Amino acid sequence: MSERPIAVPLSDLDDFTWERIFPQRRPIELEIGTGKAAFLLRRAQARPDRNFLGIEWANEFYKFAADRMRRWGVTNVRMLRTDASHFMRIVCPPASLRVLHVYHPDPWPKKRHHKRRLFQQPFVDAAVRCLEPGAHWLVQTDHAEYFEQIEGLLRGHPALEKVEFDDPELGIADARVETNFEIKYLREGRTMHQLAVRRHSDERSEEESAQGQG
Ligand SMILES: C[S@@+](CC[C@H](N)C(=O)[O-])C[C@H]1O[C@@H](n2cnc3c(N)ncnc32)[C@H](O)[C@@H]1O
């Protein structure tokens, strides 16, 4: 049983290493924007051989998610309240993630708000840097126009290649992610847009090879 708290204090982000928050070294999966963390809970329960970090900006959801993990007694999950873009650009050790999950990122539908979207070139470049060679990145949204932008950024990235989304190794089962928003939107009959990409195995830079897993 882990003695460490589920909620990661912001002070742990100075000179961050994964070892600081996870007592056991295991492949790491990160979910950005967990909301109430229905997906994170089920995925972490299904994969006790992995460590999971959920990042959630909204305090209410962050607290709900951390409490949910406590109630279910999962020991391989940590929750962090911060801006995921900042975490990926500044904190996340290079080549350290096995899977990155982003489900239903806020679409900011008004054109004048598009600059608030998570998926921008600097964020994508930083996230790719955080992926281990061969690691996967999964994205799902019901928003067709945002999906087009996301697809352009990810499929246009030289270090990424498209792979099957429908892989139980990466999600829950049968290509269903089962986040809270997915359940709600499917009930409303909305279409899901899904994309899975993989970082090329041969893209490891000298800097990352020297640093290894953080
Ligand atoms: C539309 S909800 C989706 C929640 C969940 N993934 C689901 O599918 O049910 C988007 C979530 O991302 C969080 N979020 C948005 N921008 C974020 C950021 N920059 N860093 C961390 N969380 C963020 C929001 O607070 C919100 O809880």
pLDDT score recorded for residue 213: 44
Pocket test for ligand 1, best of 42, 55, 100, 106 (most atoms within 8 A of CB): 106
Residue of minimum CA distance from atom 3 in ligand 1 = 104
Helix axes 121-130, 144-155, angle to 10 degrees: 60
pLDDT score recorded for residue 3: 53
Query: Is residue 174 flagged as an active site residue?
Result: no
* 2 within a domain of the structure (yes/no): no
Q: Indicate the pTM of the whole model.
A: 0.92
Total count of domains within the chain: 1
Give the CATH number of the domain where residue 137 resides. 3.40.50.150
CA distance 135 to 133: 6
pLDDT score recorded for residue 48: 94
The parent domain of residue 106 ranges over 25-211
pLDDT score recorded for residue 103: 96
* 11 within a domain of the structure (yes/no): no
* 142 within a domain of the structure (yes/no): yes
Q: How far is the CA of 32 from the centre of ligand 1 (A)?
A: 7
Nearest in space to 172 (alpha carbons), one of 32, 27, 41: 41
| Minimum-distance ligand 1 atom for the alpha carbon of 140 | 8
Per-residue pLDDT in tens (0 to 9) along the chain, 214 residues: 445 789 999 999 999 999 999 999 999 999 999 999 999 999 999 999 999 999 999 999 999 999 999 999 999 999 999 999 999 999 999 999 999 999 999 999 899 999 999 999 999 999 999 999 999 999 999 999 999 999 999 999 999 999 998 887 777 665 567 788 988 998 899 999 999 999 998 644 545 544 544 3
* 5 within a domain of the structure (yes/no): no
Q: How far is the CA of 209 from the centre of ligand 1 (A)?
A: 32
User: For the stretch 65-95, what's the b/e string if a residue is b when 16 or more beta carbons lie within 10 angstroms of its beta carbon?
Assistant: bbebbeeeebbbbbbbbbebbebbbebbbbb
Show the ligand 1 pocket: residues with CB < 6 angstroms.
32-35, 55-58, 61, 83-85, 103-104, 106, 118, 179-182
pLDDT score recorded for residue 29: 97
* 13 within a domain of the structure (yes/no): no
pLDDT score recorded for residue 173: 60
